[in-house]
Structure 1
Amino acid sequence: MTSVLRRLALATVCMGTGAVHALAEGGGDLVVFDWSGYEDPLLHPAYTTKYGAEPTFAFFGDEDEAFEKMRAGFKADIAHPCSQSVVKWREAGMLQPLDTSRIAGWKDLNPGIMAMKDLAVTADGKAWFMPFDWGNTSLLYRTDKVTADEAQSLRIFADPKYSGRVTIGDNVDDAYALASLVIGLKDWTKMTDEQFSQASAFLRDVHKNVRFYWTDDTDLNQAFTGNEVDLVWGWNETYVTLKGQGLPIAMNRDSKEGISTWVCGYVVMKDAPGKLDEAYDFLNAVNAPAVSDYLVKTFGYGHGNGAGMAAIDHKVLADRGFDNLDKFLDKTLFQQPVAPELKQRMVAEFEKIKAGY
């Protein structure tokens, strides 16, 4: 997701089929369908050491795009969906159960995340999803243009004062998470028709201020450094990257309405074309406790491995907001899966909003 990370893989879209193919320097047999930026070798060093090559990476911009490309025939061994999409992918028959006996540190995975209903493990005891990274979508702002008092409410995104100075992600989940928080809804699985209308109306107000809908950190970081935007509905990584560059940016994790929390992880695809041994070696590599420190410091995200997180300096965790998980999850809308019918309504309505309707 970030422009400063090493990019060893290049993805191209095949015309006609809609399938993604990836080319990586020295790419191995394993095909990983991922968010751009997660190809960073320091997120899976044990895999590289063992095979002497990087996996082959293909990228997607959002999970609905990834879902459609896989339905169109694209084959991968491993993919990296987030909590709100896991049920959809599983029910579509795209995933195979995980053999947890082959994943070192499975019992060290964050217990709070593992306890989330119908996410990592289903009621029948089958495991489908290995949590890897978790974080927030929250209000980021330029401290030389916006005061801390002004940035106390998420309603600032719809303030006419910031016309043309706002960017939010081209991501339906993050968009409706923002809108749900603004209307006072923390559990969007219980969204009523009236609340859907209220949330959509707020997004239409935000659209009037939007300079562009960002799709990755490269565009977002360029816009911020180029002084094109003052307000961002964005991820931890953007804050960590830009703050590290000395830019005047702040991240409000304690806005009046709250923040949105998400968790993403790795799954093994049902029709994985590569070797299953390599797939499990990759899962073990990204779940290694040693990866925790790098993920927290470089990306600003929490790691799924609780043992690895516990070993990180408390000051670092506090700076990233991960020192108290209970506090982290307070005042938050967790992006858990919503009913397929509601998700389709969100997708269709968000497309209309972006088009100006």
Structure 2
Amino acid sequence: MTHRFLLGTATALAFALPAFAQDDDLLVFDYSGFEDPSFHQPYIDQHGESPTFVFFGDEDEAFQRLVSGFRSDVTHICAGSVPRWQASGIIEAWDTGRIPAFGDLDGSLLGEDVMAGTAELFFLPTDYGSTAVTYNTDEVTAEQVASLQVFTDPAFAGRLSIPDNVDDAYALAYLATGVSDWSDVSDAEFEAATDWLRAIHENLRTYWTDPGELGQLMGSGEVLVAWAWNEVPVALADEGFPVGFERNTTEGTSVWLCGYVNMADGPGSEDKAYDYVNALLDIASAQPLIEGGFGSANTVALNSLGAETLEANGLGEVTVPVLAQLPISNEQRQRQAEAFERIKAGF
């Protein structure tokens, strides 16, 4: 999965270089943008400087560099990548006893086994967001987007868009076909979701690749309805665009999540690795994160922002099922990826 903080060409050019060499005892491998000091100010307060950051363009690239010998202390990935990273042996479990906010983390972002203490914590969620129906309120009514079946509506043929991202696409398709937990889908449920994605393919104007592109498509009127991350309607509204973000669609809504993995044999300080992730989960980091388009995985920190702020940023309460994009097996993700590529190719 491509992370939600997308900075285009700058990210691609900067992936191999530190943003600035600071604390040599901690190397954070990350997406460009997350070096923002306000995201980890408690770490700076404690140690007098930020960690050293090295950037990558996407998680496949990051994985290949790490298995080829590059070493970091912590790495920022999204949930879909976790099974492959864990199976490779390049990450080790976090000690939950060293994470003060662990008991306050959103259980829906962790999985029941971890919360129950029956599984080790290999993935520490720190930031998340929602994916839901975004629409042009001048051209589309609230009633027309009350259901995810809007993507099958021939009245909007050629004016629809979904992400060019297998996780987001299948989250939509599972919800649309009655599944709100993708952790253990049957063959029949997978086939139903795949058939649904294939059915909407001809209705789509395009598969969007980053929020800026989708913002332009909606701003120009080419796209009227999209399956989009919460940062998109916020940005459009800031520009005065007539936009709605419908999370309470009949079938449900989705949340994506990202966080940090603890690298095995990291070259730096293990203590500072914990200091860094604890800083991200600190209540002081919640406001800067949401201003960047991300919700804190720490429910206490997140709720400190107030219901109005959360609603304005697309992270308010919902009354419908929520599909959390938790890690799934390599086999399931590969099956979905292969089917999605065939669908996009017209098969």
Q: Normalising to structure 1: TM-score of the pair?
A: 0.82
Q: Is the 8 A contact 1:155 1:182 kept in 2?
A: yes
Matched, 1:339 2:336: no
Query: What displacement does 1:235 show?
Result: 1.1
Q: CA deviation digits over 1:26-73, x for unaligned, max 9? A: 565444333454333321223345353563242344x55654554455
Please tell me whether residue 241 in structure 1 is matched to residue 235 in structure 2.
yes
Q: Distance in 1 between matches of 2:221 and 2:22?
A: 37
1:137 maps to what in 2? 131
Q: Note the residue ranges of structure 1 that are not aligned, 5 or more in a row.
A: 14-19
Secondary structure of the 2:195 match is helix
Aligned-pair CA distance for 1:111: 4.7
* Structure 1 segment 172-211 matched on structure 2, within 5 A: 172-211=166-205
Aligned pair in 2 of structure 1 residues 160, 77: CA closer, same or farther (>3 Å)?
Answer: farther
Counterpart in the other structure of 1:52: 49
Partner in structure 1 of residue 112 of structure 2: 117
Could you report, residue by residue, the CA deviation over 1:303-327 in whole angstroms, capped at 9, with x for unpaired residues? 1223322322333234446565xx5
Q: Does 1:108 align with 2:89?
A: no
Q: 1:356: Cα distance to partner?
A: 2.1
Is the contact made by 2:286 and 2:295 (CA closer than 8 Å) also made in structure 1?
Answer: yes
Map 1:54-93 to 2 at 5 A.
55-61=52-58, 63=59, 66-68=62-64, 70-93=66-89
1:170 aligns with 2:164: yes
Candidates 328, 340, 343, aligned match of 1:353:
343
1:249-268 matches, cutoff 5 A: 249-268=243-262
Q: Is the 8 A contact 1:109 1:305 kept in 2?
A: yes
Contact 1:36-1:59 at 8 Å conserved across structures: yes
Look up the match of 2:19.
24
Q: Which moved more, 1:177-186 or 1:128-137?
A: 128-137
SS state of the match for residue 81, structure 1? strand
AA matched with 1:335:
Q
Q: Is the 8 A contact 1:138 1:251 kept in 2?
A: yes
* Corresponding residue SS for 2:17: strand
Output aligned runs, 1:175-324, within 5 Å: 175-299=169-293, 301-320=294-313, 322=315, 324=317
Normalised by the size of structure 2, how large is the TM-score?
0.84
**Residue type of the alignment partner of 2:55:** A
Q: 1:89 to 1:230 in 2, by over 3 A?
A: same
SS at match of 2:16: strand
CA drift at 1:118 = 4.1
Give the structure 2 partner of residue 17 of structure 1: none
**Whole-Å Cα distance in 2 between the matches of residues 165 and 39 of structure 1?**
37
Aligned 8 A contact 1:163 1:208 in 2: yes
Q: Which residue in the other structure is 1:16 paired with?
A: none
Q: Is the contact made by 1:120 and 1:127 (CA closer than 8 Å) also made in structure 2? A: no
Residues 345 and 277 of structure 1, relative CA distance in 2, 3 Å threshold: same
Shift of 1:286: 0.8
Q: Distance between the aligned counterparts of 1:193 and 1:251, measured in 2?
A: 32
Alpha-carbon distance, 1:171 to partner: 1.3
Go from structure 1 to structure 2 and tell me whether the alpha carbon gap of 1:226 and 1:352 turns closer, same or farther (over 3 Å shift): same
The answer to whether the Cα contact below 8 Å between 2:28 and 2:51 also exists between their aligned partners in 1 is: no
Contact 1:110 1:305 in 2 (8 A): yes
Residues 153 and 112 (structure 1), Cα distance of their counterparts in 2 relative to 1, 3 Å cut: closer
The sequence identity of aligned pairs, in percent, is 39
Change (3 A) 1:39 1:232: farther
Q: Which aligned runs of 4 or more in structure 1 are off by greater than 6 angstroms?
A: none
Secondary structure (helix, strand or coil) at the match of 2:183 reads helix
Counting matched residue pairs gives 341
